[in-house]
Amino acid sequence: MQYIVLDLEWNQPLNYQTRAYRLYGDRLMFELLQIGAVRIDENGQILDSFNLPIRPSIYTIVHPRIRRMTHLTPDILDESPDFGDAVNQFVNWCGEDYVILTWGCDDISVLYQNLHFFDVHPALPTFYDIQPLFSKTYSLPNRTNLKQAMELMHLDPEENRSFHNALNDAYYTALVFTHLPQMQDVLSYPQQARTLIHPKPHATKGDLFESIAMALDSEQAQKPHCAICARETILEDSYIPQAADKYVTLSRCPKHGLNLVRIRFRPTVDHMREMTVRTCRATRPNIAYVHTKRLQIQQRAAEGRMPDPELMLDYAEKSSVTFED
């Protein structure tokens, strides 16, 4: 038996008012744009790979953010097969006696929604999810994204293999999988496609910006209000990232001293960055934390290891496809 590690990239409507989305959105939330796969034998040896972009037929304009992430340009997609053809090529490549592995449950669900929508019915084997096996192996309470998993395993991304390309992500997933001590236990984690639901445009609490950099430059971020007197404070230093969606710094009120300023970002359904700013009176541990964190970040920046903040936030977004329970 062979393992086929599968990773998919997909497009989404430019916004939720487009004609295509109004017509088809309830049945096709995301349209597949690329199939990437890596074949592994029973001993964990990587044998070969499959990479095929797909010409979209419903959401034909690739969302600029997705285009930036995947590097799938109109030129590439125009020359690619349509979904039905692409799926057939993939299934032929898979051969016989195999199972399909993915990282997390998003890919199978988006794939099956596309299969139903386009009325394509290939014979596919059972899908298994590597992510819960990884969490169990490392005693992690939560779902981990692929990048974090690689870091935990000390597997370095390769310079010419960017994340968010179906083939590269499949390759990295295969690396993680073959480095697991009990990789065959993945067969304990079969998965089924789940029904995708529309992301509800949540009530906006914060301010909307086009980018994280613009948000951090805004008056709200640059002159946060003191937690005690609500007067404008003066930033001690620039914001530093705590996580993909969290930034922190210290700010001084002339009267009340240092405030801890915490910023949180949420990508909205129409691809803006919603920012909320919270301040509280800084405690000694807060101050020590920010200083230590800043030194770490400066060190990482000096080594050229700071990831693109926009991509990080999108990465968080990609794994947050919403499902019906």
Q: Are 32 and 116 in contact (CB under 8 A)?
A: no
- Supply the minimum distance, in Å, between the C-beta of residue 250 and Zn ion: 14
Q: Are 153 and 176 in contact (CB under 8 A)?
A: yes
In this structure, what token pair is assigned to residue 74?
Answer: 């109109």
Positions in the binding site for Zn ion (CB under 5 A): 226, 228-229, 253, 255-256
- Supply the minimum distance, in Å, between the C-beta of residue 226 and Zn ion: 3
The DSSP code sequence of 157-182 is PPTT--SS-HHHHHHHHHHHHHTSTT
Q: Are 62 and 56 in contact (CB under 8 A)?
A: yes
Nearest alpha-carbon partner for 278 in 267, 286, 288: 286
State which residue, 114 or 251, has the beta carbon closest to Zn ion: 251
Q: Across the strands, what pairs with 2?
A: 98
Q: Are 273 and 212 in contact (CB under 8 A)?
A: yes
- Supply the minimum distance, in Å, between the C-beta of residue 227 and Zn ion: 7
State which residue, 166 or 227, has the beta carbon closest to Zn ion: 227
- Supply the minimum distance, in Å, between the C-beta of residue 259 and Zn ion: 8
State which residue, 65 or 252, has the beta carbon closest to Zn ion: 252
State which residue, 94 or 253, has the beta carbon closest to Zn ion: 253
Q: How far apart are CA 166 and CA 156, in angstroms?
A: 18
- Supply the minimum distance, in Å, between the C-beta of residue 114 and Zn ion: 54
- Supply the minimum distance, in Å, between the C-beta of residue 136 and Zn ion: 48
Task: Give the dihedral of Cα atoms 243, 246, 249, 254; nearest 10 deg.
Answer: -160
Q: Are 253 and 231 in contact (CB under 8 A)?
A: yes
State which residue, 33 or 253, has the beta carbon closest to Zn ion: 253
State which residue, 131 or 259, has the beta carbon closest to Zn ion: 259
The sign of the torsion formed by the CA atoms of 186, 41, 103, 93 equals negative
